[in-house]
Amino acid sequence: MAFFHRLLGQDTLDDHQHKSLGAFGTVALWLGANVVVTTILTGMLLVPDLPFTTAMGSVLIGSLIGAIPLLLVGLMGQRTGLPSMALTRRAYGPLGSRLISLVNMGVLIAWSWIQALLAGMSLNYAIQATTGYSNLPLMTILCESVVVLIVLRGHLGIERVERWAAMAMVGLAALVLYQLNLHYDVSTLLDMPVEARNGITLGIAFDIVIATAFSWISSSADYNRNCKSGAIAVWGTYIGYVMAAMIAMGLGAAVSGLSVLNGMEQTYDPTRLLSGFGFGLPAALVIFFSVMTTNVMAVYSATLSCMNVSPGMAFWKPALIIGVVTVFGALIPGILDQFQNFLLLIGALFIPAFSVIIVDYYLVGRDGYSPELLKARHQLGRPTAPVAIGAYVIGAGLAAYWSLVAPLAFGASLPVFIITGGLYWLGAMLLTKSRANASQTTGE
């Protein structure tokens, strides 16, 4: 029993964590997080609706801009030692923090369902290609079971796995790109005619790329709180994330373009293009490793969100329960059909939520962002907590309206982020000034 206990992660919400992530580990962590089939799928959506060079330019600029909030929240985690959901207690108060944690947990579980199914599909292809045996439900269950076992080891297990998996993915991705260039004329992508297929404009493309970066905001402090320094937390994340976006979305855009140019069904999956040349197995392994690394991070962050809702729980209990839920949820029919809408949902829910957090910490004041957030329950939130909740509701409403009802030509992510943060900052300043004037009047 003692041996089993040592194998389990002892992760908590407070700042008593190992500062175990160096520069290479941080780059590898975020590289592994974002070189994933869903990011490849995002790249596929961009071509042939946009010229290939325009699509890649939007990926680079959108990633450089979209990663900035990701870095800011991750730096908050490194400085305070607190995970993302615990950080929400200061701006939103205890009730608001619990509600955001519940939503975050639900979104991450749904994200894990998608990832588990994609991993199962890749593993099933690899097994079928080598043995002839095919059983997608079984492979999906096996993949998610491995994810749960890794998560149960805690952040130390995740960091070790991510480091090796990231190197394997980069090597395999390079090999896949080489083979694509060997069997197809990749240079034709540069002159590929534009064709409207997915309804993607430059503004929408920019918004999707930013939303992909923003989708990690709610988890960035969960991992960067273990970074050895603030500089590592910032630059390691920035380099790893942007490199991953260029590799994954570039691969998706290239494969999509080549499939269209060669008269095939449009696809993001390199396995389909290379299987005819006997090279489908390495392509399937890229997909498999990429999905597994991201899925591990999703289940781990969902576990920390659950612990923020119900403090005092031993880490392994919610990790195991959430793992079981994700295993069976991955078998829901048709779940992949809602992927693009799911990206928009993430934007609507979390872009405004963490816009408030960033403004609160960096502009309103850092007082109170300490482990005491986890102890003094009656003093968790600022007096401006109702302002934070109001700004969030307005921001989420605007994100939903501008994404689903009346889409903006330049996308909703960045405007919602700026408007929500601006509303909270203005409201917080006015309330603080009003309270200060009232105190002076009472004192007089």
Letter string b/e over residues 41-66, b meaning 16 or more CB atoms within 10 A of that residue's CB: bbbbbbbbbbbbeebbebbeebbeeb
Look at residue 13 and tell me if it is in a domain.
no
- Model-level pTM? 0.85
Q: What percent of the chain has pLDDT over 90?
A: 18
- In this prediction, residue 378 carries a pLDDT of 44
Q: Pick the more confident residue, 183 or 64.
A: 64
Mean pLDDT (whole number) for 2-24:
65
Cα dihedral sign for 118, 138, 149, 312? positive
Q: Give the count of domains, the chain.
A: 1
> Cα–Cα distance between 50 and 208 in angstroms, integer?
14
Angstrom distance (rounded) from CA 438 to CA 291: 55
Judge whether residue 405 has pLDDT over 60: yes
Task: Report pLDDT digits (tens) over 31-51.
Answer: 888 877 778 878 888 988 899
Total Cβ atoms within 10 A of residue 264: 11
Domain of 144, CATH number, reads 1.10.4160.10
Gap between the Cα atoms of 303 and 147, Å rounded: 13
Q: Could you tell me if residue 7 is inside a domain?
A: no
Q: How confident is the model at residue 278 (pLDDT cuts 50, 70, 90)?
A: low
Count other Cβ atoms within 10 Å, centred on residue 354: 29
444 lies in some domain:
no
φ, ψ (nearest 5 deg) of residue 53? -65, -40
Lookup: tokens for 392: 């969030």
Can you say whether the dihedral through the CA atoms of 166, 168, 170, 173 is positive or negative? Answer: negative
- Indicate whether 3 belongs to any domain: no
Q: Looking at this protein, which amino acid is placed at residue 117?
A: L
What are the tokens at 440?
């002076």
Asked if residue 412 belongs to a domain, the reply is yes
- Give the pLDDT confidence of 154-172 residue by residue, as tens digits: 777 777 777 777 777 777 7
When pLDDT is cut at 50, 70 and 90, the band that residue 269 belongs to is low
Residue 300, in any domain of the structure: yes
Question: Can you give the pLDDT at residue 2?
Answer: 46
How far apart CA 186 and CA 279 sit, in angstroms, is: 17
- Which of 297, 301, 347 lies closest to 42, judged by CA? 347
pLDDT tens by residue, 62-73: 999 999 999 999
Domain encompassing residue 311: 18-438
**Residue-level pLDDT at 182:** 80
Is pLDDT of 181 > 70? yes
The span from the CA of 206 to the CA of 83, in Å, is 29
Q: Is residue 66 part of a domain?
A: yes
Please indicate, yes or no, if residue 12 is contained in any of the structural domains: no
Burial of 177 (0-12, 13-18, 19+ CB in 10 A): middle
User: What average pLDDT score do residues 416-434 get?
Assistant: 89
More confident position, 10 or 358: 358
Query: Environment class of residue 2 by beta-carbon count within 10 Å: exposed (0-12), middle (13-18) or buried (19+)?
Result: exposed
